[in-house]
Chains A and B, each alone.
Chain A
Amino acid sequence: MTSAPTYNFAYLDEQTKRMIRRALLKAVAIPGYQVPFASREMPMPFGWGTGGVQVTASVLGKDDVLKVIDQGADDTTNAVSIRRFFEKTAGVETTTRTQDATVIQTRHRIPETKLSDGQILVYQVPIPEPLRFLEPREVETRRLHALEDYGLMHVKLYEDIACHGHIATTYAYPVKVDGRYVMDPSPTPKFDNPKMDNCAALQLFGAGREKRIYALPPYTRVVSLDFEDHPFEPTRFTDKCSICGAEDSYLDEVITDDHGGRMFVCSDTDYCERRLGEQTSEAAQ
């Protein structure tokens, strides 16, 4: 323990954790359904991962190993800030290695390394309602979900194709969960959507400001919405990572000068480092 705890383990009081765990259980029981919960004010701003932080705080135990990423990287400022928050309030071990973590809190990415049984992936969600941009009213969207009325969404996707020749949604690409609820995967790029399907890890989603929790139990069927003649296609890169040479990972574009110079690097820093390490040890042999 780094400092004398002035707050409860992992900051939240046990009553609050219990309330959140109840919401989590309900969410796991009805995959993809948004469960309202009495989200608390956290010591970081709403919109900065308070939903994910509350979920992580509620599932974290003393023996857990925590990894926090933002944009796929462990070293982005907000990931650093959240990791430090749990180091300070829970004193748990932290890691950057995907395969060593028992709980991974993420914003905007799913790690490239395949997740395994027993791991929990906690997503930070800004707007949990996939229909929100089509229908701003909560009363209406709840009714649409209840009636499984997703016509609006299909019309939107169809209009995209009619106007742009493509489904012009590149992140927060809607999915259908276990053949029932249409769900927002949080603003992860659609590149990551296939990783959600039949995933061995438990996937939990926390939206603090909007006060919603939802979940995907392990090995849940998750299908990205599409049409027979316009099947879902994850983003593909023609470039490869300039550091590790990966061709299968999601790439960040880095501007290197003001003459149009740019390069691509893995967004998942752990994946990139691991590959680099393997290459170095192979070269050494």
Chain B
Amino acid sequence: MYVAVKGGEKAIEAAHELLARRRRGDPDVPELTIRQISEQLALGVARVMSEGSLYDPELAALAIKQARGDMIEAIFLLRAFRTTLPRFGYSLPFDTNDMAIERRVSATFKDLPGGQVLGPTFDYTHRLLDPSLAGDGHDDGAEAALAANSPPPASFGVPDEVTPHVTKLLDGQGLIEGNPATAENGIVGDLTREPLEFPAERDTRLQALARGDEGFLLALGYSTQRGFGRTHPFAGEIRMGQVDVFFEPEELGFEVPLGTVTMTECEMVNQFKGSAEAPPQFTRGYGLAFGHAERKAMSMALVDRSLRARELGEDVKAPAQDEEFVLSHADNVQATGFVEHLKLPHYVDFQAELTLVRQMREEWTATSEAVRKETGSRSENSEAAE
């Protein structure tokens, strides 16, 4: 006789054991180190930090290793750790004007104060697989070439020269809307402490986008370019580099440096807006991400601008303009959890549906049988009448 399935606990233990082995792979291949991941897979680490909402390259690298390279799983690991951390307070806002620039490009002006700094970018590389990277030792061509040359200067600009934001230059002439003033009490929304409610303000929206899935934002940003809520964007500026983060403990009353973080910032300059009261001006879309993450920052800036439709008096027609649609579905940890929960047993609900469908099929058969008899006898009658 059938005995109700038992042994869930043993099965789970065995599954985790198998997972550990799979994660390690062939034991003859040397194990990855955290340093190798954080140094050589730095863009993956940056993504995990951004969407995991925690700036810690070592932990992000550990998460990537533990997750076998599954980025969303790694983001989830980092988030689950982050949420257990005590909250001392909020760091002071930093000004990206003070960024130690590694890369800064503007698509709106040929030259500008601070200059165009290409920095370490995939742009203009020819996407040809490089066989010199295929080796695993120090004797391969790529390593030798790097060792032979001294590194180029990080920046060709004058190191101490201030690099003002393009938007600030435009703002000086009143050509672009001003940045909104900081809230008087200095408090910004935090959706990790307060549930997201609609309509959401821009601070909360930006936080949701910063934590949002890169792929989702990329697709949404792309959709605005193809006409689903077009915003006529120009990449006013993309900058990447290091900024110092400060914290002011209440009991001390002065600023304490916490450390330096690498950030990528994107400021989009978008279609103008004017009214009877105000002359035409460009509008802004803003993106910011941990590490070197241009695709994320640019997509975020496009979507941020689209989500300002309501505020700017535009018709909300496209998915990227719909804040409830965008913000409710941008979080990949939530999304993957709910999609993958379909793996969990649903026998009980399925049984309920099965019972109903069987009953409905029986009724359908009975009804069609009755109809067939009815029409059959009627046609016999009509034949007889003829």
Contacts and interface: CB of A to CB of B under 8 A. Distances in A.
Interface in B330-386: 333-334, 336-341, 344-349, 351-356, 359-360, 363
Interface stretch (B32-40, B196-204, B215-223, B230-238): B196-204
Contacts of A164: 360
A120 B133 CA distance: 60
A138 interface: yes
Interface in A146-194: 164-166, 168, 170-172, 187-191
Interface stretch (B75-83, B138-146, B148-156, B255-263): B75-83
A60 B192 CA distance: 23
Interface string B1-23: 11111111101100000000000
A116 interface: no
A38 B195 contact: yes
A71 B345 CA distance: 7
B173 interface: no
B347 A252 contact: yes
A37 B194 CA distance: 7
A101 interface: no
Contact of A165 (B86, B324, B339, B363): B363
A171 B349 contact: yes
A231 interface: no
A41 interface: yes
Given A39-B195, A137-B324, A81 B351 contact: no
Interface residues of A, number: 63
Contact of B80 (A38, A42, A77, A250): A42
A263 B2 contact: yes
Interface stretch (A196-204, A216-224, A265-273, A277-285): A265-273
A172 B86 CA distance: 37
Given A46-B338, A48-B337, A126-B338, A267 B8 contact: no
A187 B347 CA distance: 11
Contacts of B12: 77, 80-81
A267 B354 CA distance: 15
Interface string A122-161: 0000100000000001110000000000000000000000
B84 A109 contact: no
Contact of B348 (A75, A166, A243, A252): A252
Contacts of A172: 349
A237 interface: yes
Contacts of A76: 8, 345
B193 interface: yes
Interface string A57-94: 00000000000001111011111110010000000000
Contact of B333 (A41, A71, A139, A165): A41
Contacts of A71: 345-348
A247 interface: no
Given A45-B341, A81-B12, 16 more contacts: A37-B195, A41-B76, A41-B80, A43-B80, A47-B338, A47-B341, A70-B344, A73-B4, A77-B345, A80-B9, A108-B349, A166-B356, A170-B352, A171-B353, A172-B349, A252-B347
7 contacts: A36-B197, A47-B338, A107-B344, A126-B338, A137-B324, A243-B1, A243-B4
